[in-house]
A and B are shown apart, each in its own frame.
Chain A
Amino acid sequence: DAGVIQSPRHEVTEMGQEVTLRCKPISGHDYLFWYRQTMMRGLELLIYFNNNVPIDDSGMPEDRFSAKMPNASFSTLKIQPSEPRDSAVYFCASSFGRGINQPQHFGDGTRLSIL
């Protein structure tokens, strides 16, 4: 089975540009999570979806960030306009169910650098 697929793997762009990160969850998984990881703040949950519906977006830092999940096999995280402090590794993860025994499967991440 293919794992969680994220694209692009690396993104370098200038401040002010729009950035779109993409994620394809594992087929059949009903939960999708977006995380951001930095040295200072660790692994932070930004937003998560259940059956394509956003459940909790309280981790989204500000209005510049938005996420969508138009169908069960695709999600995007958009930053507009981007700022240098958005530089981080962004992970997408999916799981089947929400029990503690249902592991979250992470993609390889997108390493984002905003100049």
Chain B
Amino acid sequence: GQSLEQPSEVTAVEGAIVQINCTYQTSGFYGLSWYQQHDGGAPTFLSYNALDGLEETGRFSSFLSRSDSYGYLLLQELQMKDSASYFCAVRGSQGNLIFGKGTKLSVKP
């Protein structure tokens, strides 16, 4: 089976850096993705990692270590609008995604 673990809540202040961790267990690994969801909104794609290392997209970066079955999302220069839930997801062998339970990020002034 497949499962993902991520913290349920994280709080940080505006301008700070926050890291959201994700550990996974999968029968086969095809990549790790991150999605953002604002309250009342739909999940939106942020980034993906298929190989080990860091992928940077503006203020957001995502890291993967396949040997550790671990990844994280790094958000820099936090803004109030970054308050949202963040989901890691692994891809199944046939293209489906299995999502973690999500991490609710609260950015305080």
Contact = CB atoms under 8 A, between A and B. Distances in A.
B98 A45 contact: yes
Nearest to B101: A42
A43 to B, nearest CB: 4
A103 B42 contact: no
A47 to B, nearest CB: 10
Given A97-B95, A100-B33, A42 B43 contact: no
Interface stretch (A12-20, A64-72, A74-82, A104-112): A104-112
B6 to A, nearest CB: 10
Interface residues of A, number: 24
25 contacts: A42-B101, A42-B102, A45-B99, A48-B95, A55-B96, A56-B94, A56-B96, A91-B42, A93-B43, A97-B95, A98-B91, A98-B95, A98-B96, A99-B95, A100-B31, A100-B32, A100-B33, A100-B48, A100-B49, A101-B31, A103-B48, A104-B43, A104-B97, A105-B45, A108-B41
